[in-house]
Amino acid sequence: MRKALVTFASATLMSCANNSNEQCLLKMEAVPFRAQGETLFIEARTWGLAGNHEQILIKTDSTKRDYDKERDYAFVTDEIYYRSEADTLLVYAPYSGIMPRPMRWPSQVIIACIALNRYDQVMDYRMNYAQYGLRRVSVYHD
């Protein structure tokens, strides 16, 4: 029994990363902005022994694996909601999960972070985001 448990735990850890600091990319969504000739990428990641570290990134380069605090928007939460309008990406996220804006955002697309300040707001968006015309990105499998 102990050997089976150790084998299961080892396989689980190795399936996500070769070392404990590497993040496991769960999903990536491309958001095109045709007028600007750009595409933004929203990545949902989780890592840690129990998968309890969650992060959602908005970046301009889909091949870059690591978070760059100077160039990427980051949200430390399990899900965000968004929609694109002209040259702007509107992002709704819990206030406590919105990280500081990057200093060198390499895009013409404007990222507008709308903070959900109260628990009832977070739950309202969780339940009704589609009715508000939003898309959801989550670290959970849909």
pLDDT tens per residue, range 106-119: 999 999 999 999 99
Q: Is 17 a residue whose pLDDT tops 70?
A: no
Tell me the pTM.
0.81
Dihedral (Cα; 140, 105, 108, 29), 10-degree rounding: -20
